[in-house]
Chains A and B, each alone.
Chain A
Amino acid sequence: MIGSVGVIAAHYHVPAMRLTHDELVARFGVEKMTAIAESSGIWERRIAPAGVTGADLAFTAADEMLTHHQIDRSSIDYLIYCTQTPDYLIPTTACILQDRLGLRKSIGAVDLNQGCSQYVYGLQLAHALVSSGHARRILVMTGDADTKIIHPLDRANVPLFGDAGTASIVGPVEAGAGILSFEVGTDGASHGLLIQPSSGARVPRSADTSVEQVDKDGNVRTAEHLHMDGRSIFIFGLSVVPKLIDQLLARTGHQKDDVDVFILHQANKFMIDSILKRAGIPLTKTHYCLRHTGNSGGSTVPIAMSEAWSAGRLRPGSLVALVAFGVGLSWAATLMRWPDQALGPVFAKPQFDA
């Protein structure tokens, strides 16, 4: 056991604007879109309107959570903002969020550039900071507006992705509760399977990077848009995640039956179900939240966790595994004993059906 540090509060925010199944049918055709919806389990997505960023969504989540629980903002002594769609590359978006949220100036604030596994990585860094005594109460936020980096005629990615932001507080909890273990991994050799090619210094934006290209499946993209090799990512997930779960549980000697809820990255339902089947975990042990929200990247795990909490599936003493994987390629999982000191969900009831 690492120590008694855990998640004591969590909340999320999704934009009001929806991209519905009917709209996608009009754009891409009924047969293809219905097949994808039935397989992915995603029938609508929430879209950040023009001018709204992942940081705005994360800010709303944090502001609502801090207000709802009447948390003294001066008690926050570190901010970790997980994103791959920051407001700016320079400056750090977390610094801006420190000011917007009214947090003390004497805190650390950093961006964590990680994709779908970002929340678990954020928890791990927060856990390390609290365990080592460098901070006591950390605000871990996630936020991405991935729909802004997906070409509107990319019929493979548009149906899957949505935008969202989340906020959690990590701090000391009672002995024996909280985060029990982490397991992480990285395969940088496969980084090209999920990439926005012209998004940084390696491929500067130019007239060439804005040229639209159509792939063999009919998806339109430029080098400035998100590219995903869906079939290879699917194989990656099925290859890595069942072992990740085994390794996570082996660290603390737990069995799959001991775990009350497995919260997986909500990539799509077919992938989640295939992974669980391969891992030998009953589908009843997971909690879905993608039908109305889509894949919001690194926010899906804290959203599904918050929804499971609102649904009464997370109670003090519950054993919860968070399992995430994606861009990098990277993967990360954590096992947590839900603490007595958790403040309760902000939403009294789940906001979305599975």
Chain B
Amino acid sequence: MTKASFKAEVAMLLDTESAKLSPETVLASVGTWDSVAQLSFIAMAMDHFSTPPRPDNVARCETYGDLEALYDRELIE
């Protein structure tokens, strides 16, 4: 998965635009980052990556950069 499409997926589940997401963007500041959004993220990740994220790691994410870091090794430019 490319970084751009990953960003687009995250933007969609936050109901925002990709352009508004940078590594420093606080997720809660651009959308609702609650348990439902976290489940949506997990479902998206399971569709695109070989392993699901660790739930605690997802829950700890505060910024877009935190989310991207979960799959840093699998995301391509």
Contacts and interface: CB of A to CB of B under 8 A. Distances in A.
A231 B34 contact: no
Contact of B42 (A36, A216, A235): A235
Interface string A205-246: 000000000001100000000000111101100110000000
Interface string B44-62: 0011000010010011000
B43 interface: yes
B35 interface: yes
Nearest to B56: A231
Given A35-B32, A35-B34, A234 B47 contact: no
B5 to A, nearest CB: 18
Contacts of A126: none
Contacts of A235: 42, 46, 52, 55
Interface of B: 32, 34-36, 38-40, 42-43, 46-47, 52, 55, 58-59
Contact of A239 (B34, B46, B58): B46
B36 A231 contact: no
10 contacts: A36-B35, A38-B36, A39-B39, A156-B35, A231-B35, A231-B55, A232-B55, A234-B42, A234-B43, A238-B46
A35 B55 CA distance: 19
Contacts of B58: 231
A156 B39 CA distance: 13
Given A231-B55, A231-B59, A278 B47 contact: yes
Interface of A: 32, 35-36, 38-39, 156, 216-217, 229-232, 234-235, 238-239, 270-271, 274, 278
Contact of A229 (B34, B43, B55): B55
Given A231-B55, A239-B46, A270 B35 contact: no
A209 to B, nearest CB: 24
B36 A36 contact: yes
| Main SS at interface, chain B | helix
Nearest to A268: B39
Contact of B36 (A35, A232, A278): A35
Which of A38, A229, A231, A278 neighbours the largest number of chain B CB atoms within 10 Å of its CB? A231
A22 to B, nearest CB: 20
Contacts of A32: 34
Q: Which 10 A-B pairs have the closest CB atoms?
A: A231-B55, A39-B36, A274-B43, A235-B52, A232-B55, A234-B39, A238-B46, A35-B36, A35-B34, A235-B42
A270 B39 contact: yes
B46 to A, nearest CB: 5
Contacts of A36: 35-36
A239 B52 contact: yes
A238 B46 CA distance: 8
Nearest to B45: A235
Nearest to A233: B55
Contacts of A232: 55
A229 B35 CA distance: 11
A230 B35 contact: yes
Given A35-B32, A239-B52, A231 B39 contact: yes
Nearest to B52: A235
A39 B42 CA distance: 14
A230 B59 CA distance: 12
A271 B36 CA distance: 11
Contacts of B43: 234, 238, 274, 278
A217 B47 CA distance: 26
Nearest to A274: B43
B43 to A, nearest CB: 5
A229 B55 CA distance: 9
Contacts of B59: 216, 231
Contacts of B34: 32, 35
